[in-house]
Structure 1
Amino acid sequence: MASTLMQEPSPGPDAVADGAELVTIIEAGRRGGHDVGLRRSTTLAWTLALTDWKLRFYGSALGGVWTLARPFAFFGVVYVVFTDIIGLDENIKNYGVYILFGMVLFQFFAEIAGNSVQSLVTRENLLRKMYFPPLVIPMAVGITALLNLGMTLVAVFIFVLANGIYPQWAWLELPVIILLLTVFALGVGMLLSSLYVRYRDIQPIWEVTAQLLFYASPVLYVATFVPESYQRIYLCNPLAALLTQLRHALVDPTAPSITRAMGADLRPLIPLAIILGTFALGYWVFRRESPRIAENL
């Protein structure tokens, strides 16, 4: 049941003189007042995300350039080490483009999941002092990450074109890959943020998990480096599956797609099922914990 907003009539001059306050009464729905409409939640999330995004660069001389600094600085170091020293570029076509895409997309995933962990605690003032649907907060984290990703991808595609890779129809798969990555990250973010309110160990656990995921996913290498006997199990990792498909669609059309790598049966649906299952689990746990979030803060 959607929440209903009711306001008392405006007080007259005598009431104001007596120090009476205008009170806004919110009649909560049966789920603690969190059954707000999708449009309202999206509007709130967009407003919150845009405000955070602007404040992030407030007073900065370079502004949004700092959004590009981290992935490109890391890319520069990795590219020199893995090409000039180790020589991986000899075995992987367009290796520089691939690892740049991999690092940018993994950072996008980690930004949503990692920033969501403490987001409810950080926004404690909104949740405790007024009616504010908690789900809007991780949604805003996701929107902010998408804004950062959009800026970064502009620079990435300039680098891609400079390396002689030109647009083709397969590039249309990129929005689908980003959508699935966003759904997966939001699922993880909702799960972790709702649990962090009660269990503060979630933050260090996530930091360790994120490091493991980085090296367990084909960010600095390609999935074909994994022994063939383990590849199908390895590609059940949604990050590995998405990056493998990205390599095929945007970087090297001759590289195996996820369907070819896992087989033409239903096995390629396993990482998709994990993505959707993670989102469903995160949403369910978040909604279950929502009525108690303000009490536990």
Structure 2
Amino acid sequence: MKTIVSKLQERYRYSRIVLKEMVKTDFKLRYQGSFLGIAWSVLKPLMLFCVMYVVFVKFLKFSDGTPTFPLVLLLGIGLWNFFAEATNMGLSAIVGRGDILRKIHFPNYIIVVSATVGALISLAINMCVVLVFCIFSRVQFTWDVLWLPLNFIEFYALALGTALLLAALNVYFRDMQHIWEVLMQVFFYATPIIYPLSLVTEKTGNPIFAKVMLLSPPAQIIQDIRHNLIAPETTPTIWTQVHNWGLRSIPVVITFFILWLGIHIFRKYSQKFAEVL
């Protein structure tokens, strides 16, 4: 067993070193020249939360009627920002590093992975902020928090698979960036982030629409994290709303299919990236 582990470590040693350095460089360059620096990784989601809280909760009355909804909203914004940042940065990663690909030989996938890892670091910082708010708000944590590592693994798998797929497509079809911007807006409003899922049932008068929305991987994952961390009693998930195991597994299967597809497409066309760029 130790021999296998040592062989794997030796095989991917160069890749790990390159990945580590690229993540460090990207994270430093992201806030280089700004007065507040890394603090923007916290301030941006907080500022966005304040705007959405005032507009959608105070004025439009989007709420589930529970005191934890502001925390649920803050968590949802932080999670969505991670997905948006990981996929947008991943999409343009290969095209933006074309000069490096032509000069240095290393596995191309590292460029995309480094972009998603950078977004993952920002998510970790945001989660620390959410936890501080939860503690001060006296959120009663339950044993459901033990499911959170699996939730975040699934979320990262979705983001990485999507980023790899978009990065490969963007090399050959530069319109992907504009198409993805539109799709992200559609996905944002189709996911219960700024409004509770109960509002969908209330407005439509039919719970089937809320259940269909939960079949979307981002919606399923975000609702699961909210449920397991903050509000297990008031946050509906696909596991509590849908009783058919076949339907329950759909978003999870879609997530790992996207990961497999992204890896497959990226590996298939990555050898020609330098020539096309």
TM-score by length of 2: 0.89
Instruction: Give ranges in structure 2 of 5+ residues lacking alignment.
Output: 1-9, 201-205
Higher Cα radius of gyration: 1
176, 191, 215: which one aligns with 1:236: 215
Give the 3-state SS of the residue equivalent to 2:245 in structure 1.
Answer: coil
SS of structure 2 residue aligned to 1:164: coil
| AA in 2 matched with 1:273 | V
What's the counterpart of residue 12 of structure 1? none
Deviation at 1:264, TM superposition (A): 4.5
- Conserved? CA contact 2:214–2:237, under 8 Å: no
1:251 to 216, 226, 230: 230
Query: Which has the larger share of helix?
Result: 2
Of residues 38, 57, 71, the one that matches 1:64 is 38
The answer to whether residue 269 in structure 2 is matched with residue 289 in structure 1 is: yes
In the TM superposition, residue 52 of structure 1 has moved relative to its aligned partner by 1.2
1:292 Cα deviation after fit: 0.7
Unaligned runs of 5+ in 1: 1-35
* Residue identity opposite 2:30 in structure 1: R
- Asked if 1:111 is matched to 2:85, the reply is yes
Higher RCO, Cα 8 Å, sep 6+: 2
Contact 1:88 1:95 in 2 (8 A): no
DSSP 3-state at the match of 2:271: helix
Q: Which 10-residue stretch deviates more, 137-146 or 162-171? A: 162-171
Contact 2:139/2:230 (<8 A) preserved = yes
Deviation at 1:39, TM superposition (A): 4.5
| Alpha-carbon separation, structure 1, partners of 2:73 and 2:126 | 14
2:68 counterpart of 1:94: yes
Q: Please tell me the residue identity of whatever aligns with 1:236.
A: L
Partners of 1:74 and 1:114 in 2: CA distance: 18
How far apart are residue 57 of structure 1 and its match? 2.9
Alignment partners' CA distance in 2, 1:38 and 1:98: 39
Q: Percent identity of the aligned residues?
A: 32
RMSD over aligned Cα atoms: 1.8
- Report the equivalent of 2:124: 150
Match of 2:100 in 1: 126
Structure 1 residue 151 displacement after superposition: 1.4
2-structure distance, mates of 1:144, 1:134: 17
Instruction: State the distance in 1 between where 2:73 and 2:64 align.
Output: 14
Cα distance in 1 for partners of 2:275, 2:217 equals 35
> 2: CA distance between counterparts of 1:90 and 1:204?
34
| TM-score, L = length of structure 1 | 0.83
